[in-house]
Amino acid sequence: MSEQTDTTKEEIYYDQRSVALRTTQSICFVKEHDKVSMLGLLLNDYKKMQVVIVVKSKKKADELSTFLTSKEFNAISVHGNHRQEQQQEAATRFNLGTLNIIITTDMILKTLELENIKLLFSYDLPDEPQDYYNRLALMKELGVAMALVNPEDEYHLGSIELNMKQEIKEKTVEGFVATATPTHTAKTTKDRTKKPRHRKRKARKDKDKL
């Protein structure tokens, strides 16, 4: 009698915590005006890999595409100002490996059906935690996730970490040197305390209920 082969596969769950726990994640704290230079350093190890960079605006996507192209990265921006045919062409090139980096927004990202993403880069954190987990889920356990967090976005980071019930590991970027904040954008930023970030977020949320 021949042996029966067990063909059942382990079920993959896509709730927030399951996605977060199976994805290798890291964050870098950086001022907004220094994000571009930090991005260039972080991507040096991924020049020939499939990378998706998520931003909040079409203008920023175009600016990053111009910057990365000037640094000899094979990158393109894809957003709502592009025709559907252009968006699909970029997605096809990415899936075939002839295009390495796509810079896009959450709205367009969910329509592109990208495959084999090796790095999901959150240049901007989303306002809603679910959008962050939706980004991670697109990698289907194939890659890693990195995020740049400016002081104004720490509240959103706290929401993300509160939902996954753990803090994301902070990454040090070798060779990065922070620069002074331009005077026209300078803001007073609060010092971070030793309290875990997700606890700070919960404390604020409880206070809002009062």
Do the beta carbons of residue 118 and residue 49 sit within 8 Å? yes
In degrees and rounded to multiples of 5, residue 148 shows phi and psi of -100, 130
Q: How confident is the model over 39-64, as pLDDT tens digits? A: 999 998 888 899 999 999 999 999 99
Report if residue 182 sits inside a domain. no
Residue with tokens 């890659």: 143
Q: Quote the CA–CA distance of 94 and 49 in Å, as a whole number.
A: 10
pLDDT of residue 193: 47
Q: Tell me which residue range forms the domain holding 127.
A: 16-177+193-209
Q: Residue 109 pLDDT more than 80?
A: yes
Which of 69, 129, 74 has the alpha carbon at shortest distance from 96?
74
Report if residue 3 sits inside a domain. no
Report if residue 26 sits inside a domain. yes
Which of 165, 142, 161, 145 has the alpha carbon at shortest distance from 153?
161
Report if residue 188 sits inside a domain. no
Report if residue 55 sits inside a domain. yes
Q: Quote the CA–CA distance of 72 and 106 in Å, as a whole number.
A: 25
pTM of the prediction?
0.82
Q: Residue 8 pLDDT more than 80?
A: no
Residue 103 belongs to a domain with what CATH number? 3.40.50.300
Q: How confident is the model over 20-30, as pLDDT tens digits? A: 777 889 999 99
Q: Domain count for the chain, please give it.
A: 1
Report if residue 74 sits inside a domain. yes
Q: How confident is the model over 92-107, as pLDDT tens digits? A: 999 999 999 999 999 9
Query: Is the CA virtual torsion 113, 58, 71, 54 positive or negative?
Result: negative
Q: Quote the CA–CA distance of 6 and 205 in Å, as a whole number.
A: 47
Q: Quote the CA–CA distance of 135 and 106 in Å, as a whole number.
A: 8
Do the beta carbons of residue 151 and residue 138 sit within 8 Å? no
Do the beta carbons of residue 18 and residue 141 sit within 8 Å? no
**Mean pLDDT of all residues belonging to the chain:** 84
Q: What average pLDDT does the segment 193-199 reach? A: 52
Q: Residue 184 pLDDT more than 70?
A: no
pLDDT of residue 5: 53
Which of 84, 87, 117, 125 has the alpha carbon at shortest distance from 100?
117
Report if residue 81 sits inside a domain. yes
Q: Is 142 exposed, middle or buried (0-12, 13-18, 19+ CB in 10 A)?
A: middle
Report if residue 79 sits inside a domain. yes
